[in-house]
């Protein structure tokens, strides 16, 4: 053999290194697949349930709701209070100075039509459902809603007036499709 000729046979050490690399790579891939099989169900459980997605948009016929009455509908698993307010209620809530409110917000900012109030009926303190939807319910000193859990009181605009609740009752996204139909879960475009 001349000095220019070389052999191209791999040494036994290089062969073991290649097998070792393959085993490490295959083990890492299987570990990744195994980890994903455990993580995916957990992440999938964080998605909204099918019944919640089904209630993402709710159309409500408000024509049978007389002035002074209120109805409750379910939207995304939460009660939504829809109140057909009286002219006196509207006048009273609009006369309240913002300095007297725990969470200052004008009534005009909370409604799209003065006579209709739409709020999520869940107390912002610890998530209880306030009373005040039925004529016989305790509406508190402000004529809106009273939370029986810890005594928070809301006015007919859904604004917190007394108690431990830090925020007003939330206003869900909604729009009026016409004079008698309200769509909850969709803003006006």
Angle in degrees, CA 104, 108, 114, rounded to 5: 135
Catalytic residue list contains 109 = no
Tokens in use for 114? 């003065």
Whole-angstrom distance, CA of residue 71 vs CA of residue 27: 60
Active-site entry in 84, 109, 125, 150: 150
Among candidates 51, 164, 48, which has minimal Cα distance to 102?
164
92 and 101 in contact (C-beta within 8 Å)?
A: no
Cβ atoms of residues 58 and 71 within 8 Å: no
Name the helix (H) or strand (E) containing 110: helix 107-110
Return the active site residues.
150
């Amino acid at each position: 053999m001349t000095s220019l000729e070389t052999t191209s046979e791999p040494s036994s050490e290089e062969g073991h290194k290649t097998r070792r690399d393959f085993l490490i790579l295959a083990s890492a891939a299987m570990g990744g697949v195994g980890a994903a099989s455990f993580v995916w169900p957990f992440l999938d459980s964080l998605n909204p349930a099918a019944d919640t997605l089904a209630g993402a948009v709710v159309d409500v016929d408000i024509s049978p709701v007389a002035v002074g009455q209120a109805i409750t509908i379910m939207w995304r698993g939460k009660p939504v209070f829809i109140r057909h307010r009286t002219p006196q209620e509207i006048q009273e809530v609009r006369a309240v100075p913002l300095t007297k409110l725990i969470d200052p917000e004008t009534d005009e900012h909370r409604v799209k039509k003065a006579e209709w109030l739409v709020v999520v009926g869940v107390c912002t303190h610890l998530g209880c459902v306030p009373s005040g939807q039925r004529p016989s319910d305790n509406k508190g000193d402000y004529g809106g809603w009273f939370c029986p859990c810890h005594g928070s009181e809301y006015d007919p605009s859904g604004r917190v007036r007394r108690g431990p609740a830090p925020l007003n009752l939330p206003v869900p996204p909604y729009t009026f499709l016409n004079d008698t139909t309200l769509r909850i879960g969709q803003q006006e475009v």
